[in-house]
């Protein structure tokens, strides 16, 4: 399953160690890494990219979900690296197009505080345990979200992605040792809460959209009636 992964660390060396661990897991066949970067949250709230996979730096993440996420993690102040590399546009990219939900970004930002570092990556993984165990051993806090290919509304897409994560975690939980079962269950519970909150917000927004659509329809009807009346007066 394709996922966006963010692992937050207290120090820059730990972040580099986390990135090396990702590629080690790829080498042994546990995951596939599509793109990755080490980013820093600066004291002023901006994010800066310290290391990417390729040269020249940033060349392959501009305009991608990974680039958008890196920019969004900088909040209103955005990226410290500026428009010259083209990532500032990615920072304001539509979340739906980037397939990154706003609640996922908010969760990461709460942990990625100034003077902390993160490995941000787009990966494919069949099980969450290999990454979690390696990153926890280094001292990283793991955030992930499935990148769904389902093209519905953003709410349906996010819920489908979270349900897919839960289903996979439950399958993994059944095969895990007791110490891992509790940790996996905690993540399942967190996603369950997010799903319910997402559904509630989606319902509210649907109802608001329906009301707006009805109001617009009534307005168009009123305007059409007024035009007909005006045309009739003109002919008379």
CB atoms within 10 A of CB 217: 10
Q: Quick: pLDDT tens for 20-37.
A: 999 999 888 898 888 889
Q: Quick: pLDDT tens for 59-95.
A: 455 556 777 788 788 755 444 443 333 344 444 444 4
CB 139 within 8 A of CB 14: yes
Q: Quick: pLDDT tens for 109-158.
A: 999 999 999 999 988 898 999 999 999 999 999 999 887 543 444 556 67
CA distance 64 to 50: 18
Prediction pTM value: 0.61
CB atoms within 10 A of CB 148: 20
What 3-state class would DSSP assign to 28? coil
Structural domain boundaries in the chain: 1-147, 150-236
Look at the block and give the residue holding tokens 């304001």. 92
DSSP string, 29-98: TSEEEEEEEEEEE-TTS-EEEEEESSSSTTTTTTTSHHHHHHHHTTGGG-BTT-GGGTHHHHHT--HHHH
Within 8 A by CB and 6+ apart from 165, the residues are: 1, 144, 145, 146, 191
pLDDT at 47: 86
- 3-class SS shares of the chain: helix, strand, coil, % to 5: 60, 15, 25
């Amino acid at each position: 399953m394709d996922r966006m992964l963010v692992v937050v660390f207290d120090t820059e060396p730990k972040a580099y160690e986390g990135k090396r661990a990702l590629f080690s897991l790829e080498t042994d066949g546990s995951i596939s890494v599509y793109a990755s970067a080490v980013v820093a949250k600066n004291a002023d709230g901006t994010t800066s990219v310290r290391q990417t996979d390729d040269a020249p730096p940033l060349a392959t993440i501009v305009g991608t979900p990974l680039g958008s996420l890196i920019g969004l993690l900088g909040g209103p102040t955005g990226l410290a690296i500026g428009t010259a590399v083209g990532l500032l546009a990615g920072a304001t990219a539509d979340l739906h197009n980037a397939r990154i939900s706003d609640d996922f970004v908010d969760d990461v930002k709460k942990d990625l505080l100034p003077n902390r570092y993160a490995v941000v990556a787009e990966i494919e993984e069949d099980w969450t345990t290999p990454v979690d165990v390696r990153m926890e051993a280094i001292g990283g806090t793991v955030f992930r979200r499935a990148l769904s290919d389902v093209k519905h509304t953003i709410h349906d897409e996010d819920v489908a992605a979270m349900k897919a994560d839960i289903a996979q975690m439950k399958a993994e939980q059944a095969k895990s040792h007791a110490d891992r079962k509790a940790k996996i269950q905690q993540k399942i519970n967190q996603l369950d809460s997010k799903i319910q909150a997402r559904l509630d917000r989606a319902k509210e927004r649907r109802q608001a959209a329906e009301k707006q659509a009805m109001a617009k329809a009534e307005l168009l009807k009123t305007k059409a009636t007024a035009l007909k009346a005006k045309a009739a007066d003109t002919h008379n």
